[in-house]
Each structure stands twice: as C-alpha cells, then as structure tokens.
C-alpha cells in the first residue's frame, strides 16, 4: 500500500493532537479525588498513549526515508 508523505504528515498531526488530549485526560483522572475509581480508564488511556507513540515513531521513521 502506497501512502503519500502528505497523508503521513496529516496522520502524524492527528496522532499528536490525540496524544495531547489523552495525556491531559490522564492528568485529570489521576488528580481526581478517589483516583482509584478511575484505574481502568487511566490504564486504558496510558496504553493508548503508548500505542500512539509507537505509531508516531513509525510514521516519523517512514517520513525520514
């Protein structure tokens, strides 16, 4: 599958935006009173951050070639 540099750049931009929102969500949930109630949501958000960071790294690697 051929993906244009423009499409890759736009995907990276969208991932960066989503990462920012997820990180803010994690901060918000962790700062809540009784944060343990949100443990599963925090874990899910952290796993998504990790997945998006990997995707971002792969896109950057492809753009550098």
Map out the domains of the chain as residue ranges.
5-64
**pTM, full prediction:** 0.89
- Span 52-62, average pLDDT: 97
- 22-48 pLDDT, tens digit per residue, is 999 999 999 999 999 999 999 999 999
Residue 50: band (very low, low, confident or very high) from pLDDT cuts 50, 70, 90? very high
What six digits make up the tokens of 64? 């550098």
Could you tell me if residue 6 is left (phi over 0), alpha (psi between -120 and 50 degrees) or otherwise beta?
A: alpha
């Amino acid at each position: 599958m051929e993906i244009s540099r423009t499409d890759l750049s736009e995907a990276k931009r969208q991932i960066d935006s989503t990462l920012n929102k997820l990180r803010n969500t994690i901060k918000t949930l962790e700062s809540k009173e009784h944060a343990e109630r949100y443990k599963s949501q925090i874990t899910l958000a952290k796993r998504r951050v990790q997945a998006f960071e990997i995707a971002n790294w792969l896109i950057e690697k492809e753009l550098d070639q």
